[in-house]
Amino acid sequence: MTLRRRSAQAPSRTRSAKGIPLDSLSPLDRRLLERAVALGRRGWGRVHPNPMVGAVVARDGSVIAEGHHGELGGPHAEARALAELAGEVGATLYTSLEPCRHRGRTPPCTEAIVGAGVARVVYWAADPNPEAGGGGDWLRGRGVRVEGPFGEEGDWAAENPLFHHRVAAAADPEPRPYLALKLAMSVDGKIAPSGGRRVWLTGPEARAEVHRLRAGFGAILVGTRTWQADNPALTARGAVAPLRPPIPVLLDRRGEATPELRALGNRAARAIVVTEPSARAPLGERLRGRAEVVAVPNGPGGLDLSGVLGSLGERGVESVLSEGGGVLGASLLAHGLVDRLYLFVAPAVIGPGGVEAFPSPTSPGGDMVDSLAGWRQRLEPVRFGSDTLIVLDREVSSIPATGAKS
């Protein structure tokens, strides 16, 4: 199965829209808008398929109410912030997304805004969803002073990657899941010492963040060597209890998985084990009641990874976090299948003998100075203990025309 790439359908849709430059906001407006964006992040793992949205209500520069969309089906950020107002009119509402004007699970935010007597709305991101968009114009028509969107679509998508992917995928007959690759590495780009000896490079704060990130993904993908060596549970045991627990996905070309694996013992999310067609029947028999066994054709160096993602997409998986190992990550990168890199950089040097986080699949001794060309850091880096999380997002323009680079 060959997946058509999202970029081929709608390159102009996904990253090209531009708003007003952020620099044109006053420092106060900008700070409160950034606060709204930060509040929105609290919805991670709890609101999908809705976007994460935060809102701040201020008057004369002082914050009088805050809110965020905290739960799918629960009130939107604007409604939560406005609910805190006690009849106060003439305030300014800062929100991270254009207020919706459609009646979905909850009433339109635009009506709540007018009803609360808000005089001015400053919003950050345009709503890419044709159903929900247009709230700004609707409010303008009712005499509310509306400013936005600010910045550009690449930044909006980086803040709400799964939401933007979903909107774009809606126009794609064969959508593939959004794929993020997590790498924990030393400052010299190694994921393990030579020989693959296992070390904890990152500290407990970074590992807790990985659990928090897991809560927002539909599936957690690992390669054969990783589940064979670590027997991971692949559950989200962090600060966020996921609304829907991520599905453990194990690659198992040779059909070696056994029912005792920890990842197959998860009552809340039934695992998927991917193998090649000839191994499906015996493996399905062995894992009966423990996992769904899916067959995917072999590619040149293992299971066809586009096929793996396609199979997950057909099963309703919209997003995948790949956590290891190094070989799988390198293959995903080499095939141009990675949308986002979560790089946890630990203050350690492993040295030239270590296992490369970015091995060159074709020319091991060669240079690849442009191999991340077109990747951008749109989110701020974050420190976890002494480790740093750098998030790199692939710009649509950098996706190769053919699926594989190797």
Which residues contact its own copies by CB under 8 A?
A: 62, 185-190, 193-194, 199, 343, 345, 347-354, 356-360, 363-373, 375-377, 380-383, 385-388, 390, 392
Compute the least distance from the CB of residue 333 to its own copies, in Å. Answer: 9
Which parts of 204-354 are beta strand (E)?
219-222, 247-251, 271-275, 291-295, 298-299, 302-303, 319-324, 340-346
Compute the least distance from the CB of residue 36 to its own copies, in Å. Answer: 17
Compute the least distance from the CB of residue 198 to its own copies, in Å. Answer: 11
Q: Which is nearer to its own copies, 285 or 363 (CB)?
A: 363
Q: Which is nearer to its own copies, 281 or 373 (CB)?
A: 373
Which one from 34, 66, 71, 78 is the annotated catalytic residue?
78
Compute the least distance from the CB of residue 44 to its own copies, in Å. Answer: 20
| CA gap 307, 310 in Å, rounded | 5
Helix (H, G, I), strand (E, B) or coil at 190: strand
Helix (H, G, I), strand (E, B) or coil at 191: strand
Q: Which is nearer to its own copies, 18 or 383 (CB)?
A: 383
Q: Which is nearer to its own copies, 17 or 382 (CB)?
A: 382
Tokens of 153: 């679509």
Tokens of 14: 């996904």
Tokens of 186: 């030393």
147 is catalytic: no
Compute the least distance from the CB of residue 96 to its own copies, in Å. Answer: 19
Distances 38 to 33, 148, 378 between C-alpha atoms, Å: 9, 17, 14
| CA gap 325, 16 in Å, rounded | 34
Tokens of 273: 């084990």
Amino acid letter, residue 289: G
Q: Which is nearer to its own copies, 181 or 274 (CB)?
A: 181
Distances 120 to 136, 143, 313, 327 between C-alpha atoms, Å: 11, 9, 41, 52
| CA gap 201, 119 in Å, rounded | 51
Instruction: Tell me the catalytic residues.
Output: 78
